[in-house]
Structure 1
Amino acid sequence: MPLTILSALLLLASASALPQGQPPASPNIQNLTMWGTGCPIGAAGLISGVRNGTPIFSFSEWRLSLPNVDDPENEATVSKFCTEEMTLNNGPVGLQVRIETVTVTGWAELDEGTKLVIEIETKLGYIVAGQQIATIAKADLKGNDFEVPLEILPSTYSSCVDETGAVPKIVIKTTVSLIGEKRADGTVSKGVVGGAKALGVHFDPVWRPCARPMVRTK
């Protein structure tokens, strides 16, 4: 995926958070890597659109399924994960960033008793920034679609962007699991996620000025 597509997108939604009189910066992505069992093979994911100024990553190869098995010892949980790691430069000097929300969208078909669990973990540089977990049941689906905004807690900010413009590395790990219900007859409730529609991952960053050191007066 050409990284230049992202260069002008990441902070457009955050311009209003900048101090008045300071022009918004447009960080450039130096490197974007993804790895994990849920990432497309040989690619860094695709961009299916832009919302609030940040890209929506689309994973069309992410698919999980729980069969209706007759073996009561068969594992009733399947999961995949994908970690996105972004290194940016030309950032807004004197500001720090946090990931406010990560929204995951997709398609699922769930039996009664089957749970779809989505977990988000974030890092900003070497700081473990926050995480969130959401559980979806059949009744939570709209048709077969779901859209889950996860508020990342605690609200941890990165270190400051220094005069070099280097933004602390943004890392977002998405884990999706299907948990089947083991029935009395030895079968497990079924479920499929990511079958008919790509899994989408979108994040909202928030910026603020760094705290200035106190000046001691005599």
Structure 2
Amino acid sequence: MKLPWMSRSDRLRWQSARTVTDLGELMARWLEGEIASRPGYQARYGPEDETEHLVPTLAALCREGYVTTCLQPGFAGTGADGLWWEQRAAVELVVTDPTLVHRLVDAACAAGLFIRINDHHPDGGVQEPPVVATTRDGEPVTAFGGRISRADMAIQWPELNRDLYRQVSTGTYVSVIAPEYGPDGERLWITLDFLTGRRQHDPASPWASRIRPTSPASR
């Protein structure tokens, strides 16, 4: 299945990926603007403007084996339609390494975040119900978590090598959602920065933190 208008060079990049590590690196480079298109997304279109401040966090996750598939920042305010919108900060990631799944779940639990597991292993795995993540005048609009159908999985991951597609389509999809609506839920991203090591605690003050510098040598 070819993604309409994806350039030949971009298509070859995604088709050449053989491992989840390869996939994570390509996804990070798309987030950072080095690759114009990604599978399952509008061709030649980068991350939404509202998520621009999250790119370093998301790229670090992808490079650590937590490949992001869907996300939104925390928000509360009047929308373009004049109605009141509230969003919980939320992210969905596909993880194929059980050790990484446990680390993510442990970190999210310790931070008091909501977690939903949807394990797509052939034996059925765990299928947990979704969590409402966006409301419009108090009415649910979107949710994170919930099983992905085979048809949706194929739409989400076109262009991949067959073996790599098998890995991600049978992986564990972990949704992490802030319990708070609005900007307070942005603490979700701090938790994930600690998980990847991008943010580190200052030993002199357990409540303070610092961001680990990034350089080509650290990637």
Q: TM-score, normalised by structure 2?
A: 0.30
Bigger CA radius of gyration: 1
Higher relative contact order (CA 8 A, sep 6+): 1
Q: Which has the higher helix share?
A: 2
Q: Which has the higher strand share?
A: 1
